[in-house]
Amino acid sequence: MLTVNLLQLRLKYILVILLLISPLSRATPLIQSDVSRIILHDVTDSQFTVYNPSNYAGFYNLELIDSKMNESGKISFIENSTKKEFIKFTPTKFYLEPQKKQLVRVRIKNSQNIENELRSNLVIKLQNDYDVGSSELSRVFNFNEKSLQHFSNFDTNLLYVIPVIYDKSPTNIVKIIDNRASLDDDYLKIKFSISREGNSSIYVNIRIYLLDDTDSEEILILKKNNKAIYYPNTTRHFSFYISQKKFKLLYGDKLKKEKLKIVITDHNEKIIDTIIKKL
């Protein structure tokens, strides 16, 4: 019993030491916002509120940083934005006490000179040199964890990213291309691309079904929402691997005798394109 108690005591000391040296224990201000993105069509100005939910006051900078997406959906930041002529915002820096709010205004200038989609990112950074690593960003800060996985480079003092998009008349033709599916003992492997022709980014939902030989029964096997192709990119590639073992637990042996149906829809679930492929 004494040995067990000593072990428990040592573990508690180790845990306290780890918490003290962890970046999570440092006095780090945070930031939250009441918007995740700003999309402007018929109007050229908007506003949103940021909030410091931490117990520490902080000095914050607002900057404009462009981004680009490759054909696999990976996003990287581009310093020295080329959109500063068109996107203005105030304030550019502010001080925020714990639990306090700050109003931020965004305005599009020279809109008559904008023909296609205008896209950039309003980013909020800490002015002070807080030592916060990338592994903490997804856990501590109000930064979308799934989005973080798609970024290949970022400033470790970056707290929040708000895409700003201005598009007067979005028009696009969207379709599924280059679809392939294969089946082995372990996985159903599905690969396809979505193409975009037009003057703006697109966001689609993806649904993948299995059909029986008569098309009378369909089983939804994969559901992904809000997948983007950023303007000016025209194509994005997708790959999905569905475990045979997991599928059999849910649906038995149906995977071996079905056809595949891939559907893309808009945010209202209106079908944009559909393909059916035999496995």
Q: What is the pLDDT of residue 155?
A: 52
Q: Tell me the CATH number for domain 173-278.
A: 2.60.40.10
CA-to-CA distance for 194 and 222, rounded, in angstroms?
A: 16
User: Who's near 67: CB < 8 A, 6+ residues apart?
Assistant: 75, 76, 77, 78, 119, 120, 121, 163, 230
User: Who's near 243: CB < 8 A, 6+ residues apart?
Assistant: 186, 187
pTM of the model: 0.71
Return per-residue pLDDT of the chain as tens, 279 residues.
444 444 444 544 444 344 334 444 445 678 889 998 898 988 899 999 999 988 888 889 999 999 999 999 988 888 788 899 999 999 999 999 999 999 999 999 998 888 889 999 999 988 865 444 444 333 333 444 444 444 444 455 678 899 999 988 788 899 999 888 887 778 889 999 999 999 999 999 999 998 877 767 788 889 999 999 999 999 999 999 988 787 777 777 665 557 889 999 998 899 999 999 887
Q: What is the pLDDT of residue 118?
A: 93
Token digits of residue 44: 């050229």
CB atoms within 10 A of CB 278: 9
Topology alike, domains 28-166 and 173-278: yes
Q: What is the pLDDT of residue 140?
A: 36
φ, ψ of residue 241 in degrees (nearest 5): -120, 120
User: Who's near 34: CB < 8 A, 6+ residues apart?
Assistant: 48, 49, 51
Question: 28-166 has which fold?
Answer: Immunoglobulin-like (2.60.40)
CA-to-CA distance for 162 and 47, rounded, in angstroms?
A: 12
CB 56 within 8 A of CB 109: no
Q: What is the pLDDT of residue 138?
A: 37
Domain boundaries, the chain: 28-166, 173-278
Q: What is the pLDDT of residue 255?
A: 58
Token digits of residue 149: 């996985």
